[in-house]
């Protein structure tokens, strides 16, 4: 009876942990799966001793690793990849999706630092305050600067 309970707790625990791999965040299935695996190991220790509990833990970890690798491979390339469980839509720039505002239009603009740049701070460009980064040097406040590089939302300036 105790062996059946150990196997049942182990199988349910593995299933819950694999289910958690496909759910966002770490929630109830993952926590419950870990708790079921710990329960199986504790029952093995109580009824069969430390060596059996160690073997149970190693077997549980091995089965979890194999099950997760099979499930994730199936989600990437197998039958599971074709199911509704996997998101197939993507938002890319070809379809008009922009993750950040296009700040490349500011390239070459001149402005004045309103705070010292150590190396980051705030500069004013024609009444628009922007978070900027110097090219590495300290730039005091009220210094004329020019935008030399834009990488996403990172704006790099140098003194004029």
pLDDT for 18-41, tens place per residue? 888 877 777 889 899 999 999 999
The predicted structure's pLDDT at residue 2: 85
For 53, list phi and psi in degrees, rounded to 5: -65, -40
Residue 49 pLDDT grade (very low, low, confident, very high; cuts 50, 70, 90): very high
With a cut of 90, say whether residue 151 has pLDDT above it: no
The predicted structure's pLDDT at residue 88: 67
Percent of the chain with pLDDT over 90: 55
* Inter-CA distances, 17 with 87, 131, 159, Å: 20, 43, 55
Comparing C-alpha atoms, which of 52, 50, 53, 39 is closest to residue 10?
39
More confident residue, 74 or 123: 123
Beta bridge partners of 118: none
Residue 110 pLDDT grade (very low, low, confident, very high; cuts 50, 70, 90): very high
* Inter-CA distances, 104 with 35, 65, 101, 118, 149, Å: 51, 46, 9, 23, 8
With a cut of 70, say whether residue 104 has pLDDT above it: yes
């Amino acid at each position: 009876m105790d062996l059946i309970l150990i196997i049942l707790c182990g199988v349910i625990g593995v299933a819950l942990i694999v289910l958690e791999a496909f759910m966002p965040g770490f929630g109830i299935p993952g926590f419950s799966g870990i708790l079921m695996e710990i329960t199986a190991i504790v029952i093995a220790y109580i009824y069969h001793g430390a060596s059996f509990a160690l073997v149970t833990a190693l077997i549980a970890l091995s089965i979890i690793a194999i099950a997760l690798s099979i499930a994730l491979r199936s989600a990437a390339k197998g039958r599971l990849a074709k199911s509704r469980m996997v998101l197939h839509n993507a938002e890319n720039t070809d379809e008009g999706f922009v993750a950040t505002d296009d700040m490349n239009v500011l390239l070459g603009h001149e402005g004045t630092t309103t705070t010292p740049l150590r190396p980051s701070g705030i500069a004013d460009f024609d009444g628009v305050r922007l978070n900027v980064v110097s090219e590495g040097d300290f730039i005091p406040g009220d210094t004329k600067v020019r935008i030399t590089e834009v990488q996403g939302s990172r704006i790099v300036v140098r003194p004029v």
